[in-house]
Each structure stands twice: as C-alpha cells, then as structure tokens.
Amino acid sequence: MTTAEHFADRPRFLPAGDSALVVEFADRVDPEVSARVLALARRIAGAAIAGVVETVPTFRSLMVHYDPLGISNQELRARLEPLLRDLAGQVPAGRHWHLPACYDPSLGVDLAEVAERTGLSAADVVKAHSEAPFRVYMVGFLPGFAYLGGLPALLELPRRENPRLKVDAGSIAIAMAMSVIYSIESPGGWNILARTPVPLWDLRRDPAALMSAGDRVSFAPISRAEYDELAGKARAGELRVTPQPHDA
C-alpha cells in the first residue's frame, strides 16, 4: 500500500474569503499529513501560478494566499487540482538543526512539574526530550515561532491551566503531542523544559527566521554556564549555527 492510498480521502478545498484558499488534508497532527502539505507547497512554488502570493503550511492544511485581482478563486482551484494528484507522503530531506538546549531548572522552569505530572524523573524527561527526532510542522503564531512534531508519547501533557504572561525568547516547551520554541518573548501556556541560546528570530540574519516547515531539529543538552556563554555571543550577533544536510 502506498502512502497516497493510505490517505484515501483526497484533500479538499475550503473557502477562506476571496484572497485565500485552504487545501485541507486532515484534521490531525500527523507526520505524513505534514509531509503531504509540504509537498504541495513545493509543487505550487514550482508551478509559479500568476496571482498566487505565498503559501502557508500548517499541520493539516496549506493556506494559499492570492491576489483576487490576479486570479479568481475558480481559476485557482482549476490550477491547483492537477497538483493534488499523487502527493507522496515522502518526507523530504530537510535541513537538520542541532540546537544547544539548557535544561537547567533556572531556565526550564516547568521541568520539575512535568516530571511530577508524567511520573518520570527530571533526568528521564530531559533524556526523552533531547533524544527525540523532531521535525518542524509549522512556523506561525509569531515571527519564527516553530511547532515541532515528534514528541515521545510519554511526555504528552495538556497546556498549563494558567498561561504565563511572559515567556522568554528561546524557551523550549511541550504540550499535547508537540514541542515548540518561542522565537520572541510573548505570553504562553506551554510547559517550559529548556531554553536555547540560538535566536530563532534575528533581523541581523538573512533569513531572520531560523527554521522553515520541514526542517529537522534535535536538542543537545548544555550546562547553565555554557548557555550563558553562548547567549552572550548571540546577543553580540556572533553565534552562528549552520544546519547539517539530511543525515537520515
């Protein structure tokens, strides 16, 4: 059985006004759904359809933003229809980011609570999270904010009942079946396990957003002292991280 057959339902179009169209594949968080969303995004970029402004991949669907003065909704659907055929759920070779992450309780402020709620030791929580192979399903909510799929099931928890008004940039947090990395300081309700000194969003860098949907991510635990040193370099704009090519 091929991956395409596995998802018997064809993706469907959903209206989102007269300047955006949703192509929905499923309504769940699933690596193969994400892969098909990203495959369609690449196909649309390759097709260079006049009037299409950009596409935004999400967990379950692709939003196609377009200029209604450049292409009608009906024409757009007709142009997209052939691109929906045989969308392989093959996950493309993406960039692989190895991000230093400090799980010290001074930065991973919810680590103890997560350990208690999951019945694991703090060390086991760190081990499970840092050994998980994550993949970026979606960049959204805030500039450069990355949603990562691939959280081990033993770490699944709901969001915090009382969201924090301020979560620091770089915070690595978990909820449900996902992990996220806060790109800039913002309010947030996820359970914070660690912090990376690598800026997910830095306007001195091109592109300013570090990650794109489809990238792979793993976390390498570092000490608080190492974090402080790297964070100092990051503030000075001297912390360079380069992704490794797909390493299977």
Residues that bind other proteins (CB under 8 A): 14-20, 22, 24, 27-29, 41, 53-63, 65, 68-69, 72-74, 138-145, 147, 183-184, 186, 201, 203, 207-209, 212-213
- Phi, psi torsion values for 153, nearest 5 degrees: -60, -30
**Token code pair at residue 65:** 């933003």
Q: Work out the angle at residue 163's Cα, subtended by the Cα atoms of residues 171 and 173, and round it to the nearest 5 degrees.
A: 25
Nearer to other proteins, 116 or 235 (CB): 235
Residue given tokens 């990355």 in the structure block: 146
Other C-beta atoms lying within 10 Å of the C-beta of residue 34: 26
> In whole angstroms, how close is the CB of 142 to other proteins at the nearest point?
6
Nearer to other proteins, 212 or 218 (CB): 212
> In whole angstroms, how close is the CB of 115 to other proteins at the nearest point?
26
> Which residue type does 143 have?
P
Nearer to other proteins, 56 or 120 (CB): 56
> In whole angstroms, how close is the CB of 29 to other proteins at the nearest point?
6
> In whole angstroms, how close is the CB of 13 to other proteins at the nearest point?
9
Is the Cβ–Cβ distance between 20 and 65 less than 8 Å? yes
Nearer to other proteins, 122 or 208 (CB): 208
> In whole angstroms, how close is the CB of 139 to other proteins at the nearest point?
5
> In whole angstroms, how close is the CB of 193 to other proteins at the nearest point?
21
Nearer to other proteins, 3 or 212 (CB): 212
Is the Cβ–Cβ distance between 245 and 93 less than 8 Å? yes
Strands of 115-176, DSSP E: 134-139, 146-149, 164-167, 171-175
The kind and range of the H/E element at 181 are strand 178-181
**Token code pair at residue 94:** 């993406």
> Which residue type does 151 have?
L
Nearer to other proteins, 102 or 148 (CB): 148
CB burial class (10 A; 0-12, 13-18, 19+) of residue 7? middle
